Amino acid sequence: MKTTWKSLFSKSDFPCREDGSVPTPLQLGTLGELRRFLDVVHIRHCLVRPYFETEDYPLVEARELLPSFESDMWEYKQLPGFSLVALARPLSYFQEIFQFDILHPVLDSASVAEGASCPLESHVIARNVQTMQMRLPKAMQESFRQRFSRMDTSVPDYYGTLTPYLLAMDRGQVFAHDGFGHFHLAGVYASFPSDLDNEIKRFGLRIGKFAVGDDDMYERNRLFVYQYLMELYGFPIVSERRTSSALFARRLHKMGEKFLIRVLGQSDRTITTISNEGGTSHYPRLDKIALVRIDSDQEDALQAIDEMGAFLDRERRVVIMRVSYKQHRFNPDNVRQDRALSVDRQEIIHPLTGEPLPNMNIIKDTSNMFLRLNDIVRGEYTGRIVYKRTEIVENTDTDEKRLKFLFSWLSKHQRRMIGYSDEFFSNVSKVLDNYLLTPDNYESFGQLHDLYQEVWAKYSYIQQARKVRFLEDIQNRLYRGERIGYRRMLAEAVALLHGLKFEIVSYFDTLVASVIRIGEAILNDRYLLRTYIERRDEELTRGGQEIRKNYGRLVSLIDEFKAIRRSRHGKHSTMTTT
């Protein structure tokens, strides 16, 4: 049985009255101040209230906050959804690059609060009320007019009270500075521009995934570029509301605006905030807030949260969680080139004080990941996943479901598994090998041949990619965290590539291309060439001669990888022309 919403918040330290408004006067001059205020209102009205008022509220699973983000299969129309933009400057209505219905601040709101009857102020209030009223569903218009006819709805003081009405409106809300440098509700019914086609093409050309006029290259890489671009701003490829919010944030950031964009999807149940409060960072700041249930086996986290009294619902282990992310520039030279985001910080927000409980590790817990994997292969996992963005799979009670869960699990954690420790990957490999290579399962897998091969290909890719990552480290003269010299660099590179060439039975062109590129970078090292390769034999020490010998072996290995790639490309072109 859930605790009632009112009893939980009856002694709230949030700066809100019981009706959701805040004590007057409220002056929010910076984006940081506005953000903290919006956190209070939006968490309270858009997450907490629906949780306590909705039967079987769909909590967000912790893994859903871990990049890469998965597409949503359900839209919970009974839950709130909204979008909002805040600009840290006064608006210039004609000059703005998006459409909205403007609301005007009352210049002397104190006089209105004291009951003074200034005709101009009364006119502004009436005009704002009328503007908002006409964007509401008809069933709500009269109650809105009666409640707010004498209130200055543009000031933040009434924003909490307005929120249920704002959530019933289509399109976005707008905040901006008034003439005194304080934020006010400056507009409703905002449409954020989404120049999706040009943004994808510009971005793809810049990162080298597209070439002008090359239709085949565009077709091969379009989905990768689209997904990478969206993930930089916190979303999978999803609804128009979140797509336009992401691309509008990208545009504002390019223009050097100080802004905040916030969006809550009815399908993801997550408040996503994209903001730039100044500075020279390449990308805006990104974070997500959601109601999350902590797994029962995360004992240390549960104890810390309980000691702080930070559970929203202790019985169900529900918390208010904020995850902040760090964006990464596209790096074609990195084996994890699809990594647009990584988790930077995780916080539990106290439901009464709003204070963050930092230094939490809820969604990147490797032991938790390992336990989920064990549950999947044993058929004991009871959650659900979206397989290849098209099929919802619930539970793992058949081998077909287990394989689909494994494919999704490996896809979700691919980039992390490539970078995690040998010990962790060794444990993962034992679990996967025991399931995928057990003779008792061969008959079942034979009937699921294509699905089994998909899982095995994904697993093989991760195994090979880990070796390519080690080769990247070797190029930088690092080996498992240890600095190494040129002699060991070449010896380790030769040993690694000698083993890897026998795994190319599962061929992945991107990995082979990376091997060739990294190998050639090692071979073209100027110091290596000048000191060991371009000298006469008699000038070299025994160690120098060993370096030269391994250099020759590395040349041969790289030539073998080039030959493998040529043969694969030749086979592909033959198949294409026949």
**Do 33 and 83 form a contact (C-beta atoms < 8 A)?**
no
Write down the pLDDT at residue 237: 86
Examine the domain organization and report whether 370 and 517 are in the same domain.
yes
Read off the pTM. 0.82
Mean pLDDT of 58-87: 87
Which stretch of 29-38, 306-315, 564-573 has the lowest confidence by average pLDDT? 564-573
* Percent of the chain whose pLDDT exceeds 90: 51
Q: How confident is the model at residue 76 (pLDDT cuts 50, 70, 90)?
A: confident
Distance CA 459, CA 418 (A): 11
CA distances, 195 to each of 202, 226, 240, 274, 358 (Å): 11, 13, 12, 18, 37
Phi then psi for 185, rounded to 5 degrees? -70, 110
pLDDT at 80 over 90: yes
Looking at the domain assignment, is residue 479 inside a domain? Answer: yes
Looking at the domain assignment, is residue 137 inside a domain? Answer: no
Where does residue 130 rank: exposed (0-12), middle (13-18), buried (19+ CB within 10 A)? exposed
Q: Could you say which of 323, 357, 391 is where a domain stops?
A: 357
Residue 578, classed as helix, strand or coil, is: coil
> Residue 442, Cα to own-chain centre: how many angstroms?
37
Examine the domain organization and report whether 502 and 526 are in the same domain.
yes
Q: How confident is the model at residue 122 (pLDDT cuts 50, 70, 90)?
A: confident
Looking at the domain assignment, is residue 160 inside a domain? Answer: yes
Q: What is the pLDDT of residues 328-360, one digit of tens each?
A: 888 877 777 778 888 899 999 999 888 888 878
Write down the pLDDT at residue 41: 94
Looking at the domain assignment, is residue 136 inside a domain? Answer: no
Examine the domain organization and report whether 304 and 262 are in the same domain.
yes
Q: Could you say which of 335, 357, 379 is where a domain stops?
A: 357
Mean pLDDT of 377-392: 83
pLDDT at 159 over 50: yes
pLDDT at 20 over 60: no
Element at 394 (helix H, strand E): strand 391-394
Examine the domain organization and report whether 64 and 170 are in the same domain.
yes
Q: What is the pLDDT of residues 42-71, one digit of tens each?
A: 999 999 999 999 888 999 988 889 888 887
Examine the domain organization and report whether 316 and 378 are in the same domain.
no
Examine the domain organization and report whether 195 and 49 are in the same domain.
yes
Q: What is the pLDDT of residues 402-459, one digit of tens each?
A: 999 999 989 888 888 888 888 888 889 999 999 999 888 888 899 999 999 999 999 9
Examine the domain organization and report whether 402 and 335 are in the same domain.
no
Write down the pLDDT at residue 316: 92
Examine the domain organization and report whether 228 and 292 are in the same domain.
yes
Looking at the domain assignment, is residue 141 inside a domain? Answer: no
Examine the domain organization and report whether 376 and 303 are in the same domain.
no
Write down the pLDDT at residue 571: 58
Distance CA 379, CA 19 (A): 48
Write down the pLDDT at residue 25: 62
Q: Which residues of 132-164 are buried (b: 16+ CB within 10 A; e: fewer)?
A: bbebbeeeeeeebeeebeebbbbbbbbbbbbbe
Write down the pLDDT at residue 11: 38
Write down the pLDDT at residue 84: 96
Mean pLDDT of 310-331: 91
Looking at the domain assignment, is residue 431 inside a domain? Answer: yes
Q: What is the pLDDT of residues 237-271, one digit of tens each?
A: 888 888 999 999 999 999 999 999 999 988 889 99
Mean pLDDT of 365-377: 82
Distance CA 492, CA 509 (A): 23
Residue 168, classed as helix, strand or coil, is: coil
The mean pLDDT of the chain is 86
> Residue 450, Cα to own-chain centre: how many angstroms?
30
Which stretch of 1-15, 372-386, 502-516 has the lowest confidence by average pLDDT? 1-15
Name, in order, each residue with C-beta under 8 angstroms of 447's C-beta and a sequence gap of 6 or more.
Answer: none
Long-range own/partner contacts, residues 284-287 (CB < 8 A, 24 or more apart): 284/233, 284/249, 284/253, 284/259, 285/324, 286/233, 286/234, 286/324, 286/325, 286/327, 286/341, 287/322, 287/323, 287/324, 287/325
Mean pLDDT of 276-302: 88
Write down the pLDDT at residue 119: 62
Examine the domain organization and report whether 42 and 181 are in the same domain.
yes
* Percent of the chain whose pLDDT exceeds 70: 92
Q: What is the pLDDT of residues 204-243, one digit of tens each?
A: 999 999 999 899 999 999 999 999 999 999 988 888 888 9
Looking at the domain assignment, is residue 129 inside a domain? Answer: no
Nearest Cα residue to 25 out of 112, 86, 90: 112
Phi then psi for 118, rounded to 5 degrees? -90, 120
Examine the domain organization and report whether 290 and 194 are in the same domain.
yes
Looking at the domain assignment, is residue 135 inside a domain? Answer: no
Distance CA 539, CA 532 (A): 9
By residue range, what is the domain housing residue 571? 366-577
More confident residue, 13 or 501: 501
The domain total for the chain is 2
Examine the domain organization and report whether 288 and 422 are in the same domain.
no
Q: Could you say which of 357, 381, 402 is where a domain stops?
A: 357
